[in-house]
Homo-oligomer: A and B are copies of this chain.
């Protein structure tokens, strides 16, 4: 198999988030009246790289405030469609004028009042600037903000993606106190630590409603996460409605009409994400985790045999001895390549149980033919290489992503492949320790600068509630400077981020112990 660019597994350099940065436990002080942690006001999550703010502030009023676009943005869709969204975030609909914590009422803030702020300019700057339409790996996301009063209020970036990040930061600078809304004198220069900041959801173990996927995308944008890794199908169900192979979801979904993603649904998610600067990377895991495929596409899986050589009725991983499997996968990945515009596709490759292969005489024969008798990890590598080959020959060039195990099994993959990959500069995305669904008691966000939410115990009810604001911690580790790791300093900002998300209408969990949010609960619950 000549496969050229594959196993370039993708980004996120994990070594930097390692033992030396291990966070100590967040230690609250329980024997005290009031919240354990006092919320900040107008602090940004994730923390910007460079920020100067003074305690002098402007008032900002929804009746008069406006974004003023530079002429280069007048017909620029990404920014134009963002403005109503960010206006609502600047003035969140579910916030209340609840009294601020008593401890802060004595601040003599009004001497520092600088007057009203009625606009902020939004400008695309620099020689590289153009109005891009689709987010991609390596897009520019840096931006600057100046809030100085008069004419000196401006958000700039070399890209629309940076402007989206700047608009989000601007919306977070605005807070409520004795005035309904205020914003401090501020300058910011900000850019991400890592270019690929992903969040995975699993819509196979439980089907996830469109509404909750969209809420998730909104929240990803608020936390400057730029990749939505969609683990669409797995053993349990196949909710992706394929145009070429409709039986896959008709027979493989939990329910063929209410628990599937139609082509329109998928398009809607991709579009919703695109407008927020978020890439959608689908995952179609093979050869394992594919039990649900067999229902709509009989024959793709391996028939398992009893000890005395009879089919036992159960099925194992995909059957790489079946050449028509790869014809089918070629057709499917061609479709996926057309449906999902991103240049990356996730091919899975994890947790392959080889016992069924071991029981099957055709597999045994096939492996003898390949001269890999008894080396089942090499059969797995054979399968993965075939799939990588398929993806490599698509009309649209796609970079494949696989789970870590394919990398771990590297010694069984043909040496050419591995060497080639290494020479090409092996980029690694390591997500296995970052499982948001593994929730722990107490201050669990501290260990959560990370990002997969598997679906065994997560459905539409608790997707948002379980993942957030816990996921904010990982978002900050992957956006902010590596030195931003002091949990005691982070906690007050995280409390603000929690309340901010509630005020915007997302049902997120309490995150830093006993506390309260100035939020209109009746509208949210």
> Which residue numbers of A lie inside 8 Å of B, CB to CB?
30-36, 96, 98-99, 102, 204-207, 209, 211-212, 235-237, 251-252, 254-256, 258-259, 291-292, 294-295, 314, 353, 437-442, 455-462, 465, 502, 507-511, 513-516, 518, 521-522, 524-525
B96-A456 in contact (CB<8A): no
Bound form: Cα–Cα A439–B465 in Å: 14
- Most chain B beta carbons < 10 A, residue from A458, A502, A515, A518: A515
| A455 surroundings in chain B (CB, below 8 A) | 514
B212-A460 in contact (CB<8A): no
Q: Smallest CB-CB separation from A520: which chain B residue?
A: B258
Bound form: Cα–Cα A211–B461 in Å: 17
Bound form: Cα–Cα A460–B523 in Å: 12
| A258 surroundings in chain B (CB, below 8 A) | 96, 98
Bound form: Cα–Cα A99–B122 in Å: 51
| A32 surroundings in chain B (CB, below 8 A) | 235-236, 291, 314
Q: Smallest CB-CB separation from A356: which chain B residue?
A: B31
| A462 surroundings in chain B (CB, below 8 A) | 465, 509-510
Bound form: Cα–Cα A96–B207 in Å: 15
A525-B438 in contact (CB<8A): no
Bound form: Cα–Cα A212–B507 in Å: 13
Copies in the complex: 2
B514-A236 in contact (CB<8A): yes
In the complex, what's the smallest C-beta–C-beta distance from A111 to chain B, in angstroms?
Answer: 26
* Further pairs besides A31-B353, A204-B514, A457-B513: 9, Cβ < 8 Å: A207-B516, A209-B522, A255-B516, A442-B457, A456-B513, A456-B514, A457-B510, A461-B502, A461-B509
Given B255, B513, B516, which contacts A254 in the complex, CB threshold below 8 Å?
B516
Q: Smallest CB-CB separation from A459: which chain B residue?
A: B510
A209-B457 in contact (CB<8A): no
Bound form: Cα–Cα A438–B524 in Å: 25
In the complex, what's the smallest C-beta–C-beta distance from A182 to chain B, in angstroms?
Answer: 20
6 A-B pairs within 8 Å (CB atoms) are namely A31-B291, A32-B291, A35-B254, A206-B516, A255-B516, A459-B510
A525-B460 in contact (CB<8A): yes
| A30 surroundings in chain B (CB, below 8 A) | 235
| A458 surroundings in chain B (CB, below 8 A) | 510
B442-A206 in contact (CB<8A): no
Bound form: Cα–Cα A510–B291 in Å: 21
Bound form: Cα–Cα A20–B186 in Å: 64
Bound form: Cα–Cα A237–B383 in Å: 60
Given B295, B439, B521, which contacts A441 in the complex, CB threshold below 8 Å?
B439
| A518 surroundings in chain B (CB, below 8 A) | 255
Q: Smallest CB-CB separation from A296: which chain B residue?
A: B33
A33-B255 in contact (CB<8A): no
A507-B291 in contact (CB<8A): no
Given B96, B353, B459, B510, which contacts A461 in the complex, CB threshold below 8 Å?
B510
| A524 surroundings in chain B (CB, below 8 A) | 461
B456-A442 in contact (CB<8A): yes
Bound form: Cα–Cα A109–B442 in Å: 49
In the complex, what's the smallest C-beta–C-beta distance from A77 to chain B, in angstroms?
Answer: 28
A521-B457 contact in complex given A34-B236, A34-B237, C-beta closer than 8 Å? no
| A35 surroundings in chain B (CB, below 8 A) | 236, 254
In the complex, what's the smallest C-beta–C-beta distance from A258 to chain B, in angstroms?
Answer: 6
| A459 surroundings in chain B (CB, below 8 A) | 509-510
| A256 surroundings in chain B (CB, below 8 A) | 99
In the complex, what's the smallest C-beta–C-beta distance from A333 to chain B, in angstroms?
Answer: 21
Given B292, B507, B513, B525, which contacts A33 in the complex, CB threshold below 8 Å?
B292
A510-B33 in contact (CB<8A): no
In the complex, what's the smallest C-beta–C-beta distance from A267 to chain B, in angstroms?
Answer: 19
List 8 tightest A-B contacts by C-beta distance, closest first. A205-B514, A254-B516, A33-B291, A236-B514, A33-B292, A459-B510, A209-B521, A461-B507
Q: Smallest CB-CB separation from A100: which chain B residue?
A: B255
In the complex, what's the smallest C-beta–C-beta distance from A522 to chain B, in angstroms?
Answer: 7
| A205 surroundings in chain B (CB, below 8 A) | 513-514
| A236 surroundings in chain B (CB, below 8 A) | 32-36, 514
Q: Smallest CB-CB separation from A212: which chain B residue?
A: B525
Bound form: Cα–Cα A263–B434 in Å: 47
In the complex, what's the smallest C-beta–C-beta distance from A298 to chain B, in angstroms?
Answer: 12
| A99 surroundings in chain B (CB, below 8 A) | 255-256
A515-B206 in contact (CB<8A): yes
In the complex, what's the smallest C-beta–C-beta distance from A387 to chain B, in angstroms?
Answer: 20
Given B204, B209, B522, which contacts A525 in the complex, CB threshold below 8 Å?
B209
| A437 surroundings in chain B (CB, below 8 A) | 441
| A508 surroundings in chain B (CB, below 8 A) | 461
Q: Smallest CB-CB separation from A205: which chain B residue?
A: B514
A206-B510 in contact (CB<8A): yes
